[in-house]
């Protein structure tokens, strides 16, 4: 492995980075990830939520490469990952007290806070919006990586636009491996669903995306919480595209028994919360009905079912509470036609 690090560093100084770009590399070497990032390249990074496709958030060149690798429309802004709360004021104009309180309670963690950006954050990173989404990810490798850099990392989920987010290095490799030089392998993501995206205004919390920090978690701060209505494909509410998180196979969400009846002539895959429907092509999110376990399994199980020899995936909603809300939101989007 030491040899690989020297190879990466040597490539950097010899301007032979392209030789590495031709190879797929997966590993746990922060130095390699760092070497690429310093060259405005993009690398996949582990976080506790999902894997991110990271580049220098202050570099238009790096940010362009992120959009390109993901095939992501330019109207959908990127989240900026920082190494500490004290860094935030470098990138935003002001931080309301409640936002500081939320940072203190949930960072590092699955919470992205929208704040008015400073001009050092390129418009490309925020798709021309005046706010930037910021969070500190909770993964030791990525925190070490951030601490080794003088710039923050823009990182959307490391999946092709519109597909299920990756929760392991293998997931990233399957879909973007040929497009990026390095995947920093931090194992399976512990939370398994993306961060909650919110803004704080006049002591109110407005949630733009349900995610790993639940509404119940946030209620400790204020009872004034609004969940933004879902839009279809409006740039005014980016991140809220209806057809998102979609597997390749059609997915129907409802009463599984009734759906099984309706689709009896098809090869069926079952995606249930805790009940066993006795089929081989079946994934049960959490046999004990635990929301945290269900979230951690959500995307990897959906991928597994998607890869089976079936025609349709039949799924059910979870109780609409705690992380069940975010999971239901994703199921709804995955099944949107």
CA distance 222 to 274: 32
Interaction between residue 172 and ligand TXA (CB under 6 A): no
Nearer to ligand TXA, 122 or 133 (CB): 133
The residue among 132 and 285 lying less far from ligand TXA, judged by its C-beta, is 132
Contact pattern from residue 230 through residue 249 relative to ligand TXA, giving x for each residue in contact according to CB under 6 A and a dash for the rest: --------xx----------
Q: Which of 34, 37, 69, 77 binds ligand TXA (CB under 6 A)?
A: 77
| Per CB under 6 A, 190 contacts ligand TXA | no
Burial of 75-98, coded b for 16+ CB within 10 Å and e otherwise, reads ebbbbbbbbeeeebeebbeebeeb
Query: Is residue 47 within the footprint of Mg ion (CB under 5 A)?
Result: no
Could you tell me if 154 and 56 are in contact, meaning their C-beta atoms sit under 8 angstroms apart?
yes
Q: How many C-beta atoms surround the C-beta of residue 11 within 10 A?
A: 20
Its sign, for the CA torsion 275, 280, 282, 283, is positive
Minimum distance of ligand TXA from residue 133's CB (angstroms): 3
CA separation for the pair 256, 272 (Å, rounded): 8
**Cis, peptide link before residue 248, omega less than 30° from 0:** no
194 touches ligand TXA (CB under 6 A):
yes
> Is residue 114 part of the contact set for ligand TXA (CB under 6 A)?
yes
User: Of ligand TXA, Mg ion, none, which one sits near residue 247, judging by CB under 5 to 8 A according to partner kind?
Assistant: none
Choosing from 17, 85, 95, 129, the residue that interacts with ligand TXA (CB under 6 A) is 129
Q: Which of 56, 138, 142, 157 binds ligand TXA (CB under 6 A)?
A: 157
Q: What are the structure tokens assigned to 151, written together? A: 């710039």
Task: Give the strand order in the sheet containing 111-116.
Answer: 26-27, 183-184, 43-45, 52-56, 153-154, 79-81, 131-135, 111-116, 196-201, 204-209, 225-227
What is the closest distance, in whole angstroms, from the C-beta atom of residue 72 to ligand TXA in the complex? 8
Q: Which residues bind ligand TXA (CB under 6 A)?
A: 47, 49-50, 52, 76-79, 112, 114, 126, 129, 131-133, 137, 155-157, 194-195, 197, 208-209, 238-239
Interacting residue ranges for Mg ion, rule: CB under 5 A:
157
């Amino acid at each position: 492995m030491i040899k690989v690090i020297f190879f990466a560093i040597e490539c950097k100084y010899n301007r032979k980075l392209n030789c590495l770009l031709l190879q797929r590399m997966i590993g746990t070497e922060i130095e390699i990830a760092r070497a690429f990032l310093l060259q405005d390249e993009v690398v996949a990074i582990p976080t506790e939520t999902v894997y991110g496709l990271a580049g220098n958030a202050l570099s238009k060149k790096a940010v362009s490469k992120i959009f390109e690798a993901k095939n992501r429309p330019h109207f959908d802004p990127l989240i900026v990952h920082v190494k500490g709360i004290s860094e935030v004021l470098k990138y935003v104009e002001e931080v309301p007290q409640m936002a500081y309180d939320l940072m203190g309670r949930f960072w590092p963690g699955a919470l992205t806070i929208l704040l008015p950006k400073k001009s050092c954050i390129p418009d490309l990173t925020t798709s021309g919006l005046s706010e930037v989404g910021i969070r500190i990810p909770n993964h030791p490798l990525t925190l070490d990586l951030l601490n080794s850099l003088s710039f923050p990392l823009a990182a959307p989920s490391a999946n092709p636009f519109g597909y299920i987010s990756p929760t392991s290095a293998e997931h990233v490799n399957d879909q973007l491996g040929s497009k990026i030089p390095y995947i920093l392998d931090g194992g399976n993501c512990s939370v398994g669903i993306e961060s909650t995206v919110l803004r704080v205004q006049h002591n109110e919390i407005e949630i733009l995306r349900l995610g790993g920090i639940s509404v119940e978690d946030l209620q400790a701060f204020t009872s004034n919480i609004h969940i933004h209505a879902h839009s279809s494909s409006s740039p005014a509410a980016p991140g809220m595209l209806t057809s998102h998180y979609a597997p390749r196979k059609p997915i129907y969400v409802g009463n599984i028994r009734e759906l099984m009846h309706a689709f009896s002539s098809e090869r069926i895959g079952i995606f249930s919360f805790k009940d066993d429907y006795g089929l081989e092509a079946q994934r049960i999110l959490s046999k004990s009905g635990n929301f945290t376990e269900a979230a951690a399994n959500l995307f990897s199980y959906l991928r597994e079912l998607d890869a089976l020899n079936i025609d349709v995936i039949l799924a059910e909603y979870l109780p609409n509470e705690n992380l069940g809300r975010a999971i239901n939101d994703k199921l709804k989007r995955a099944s949107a036609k």
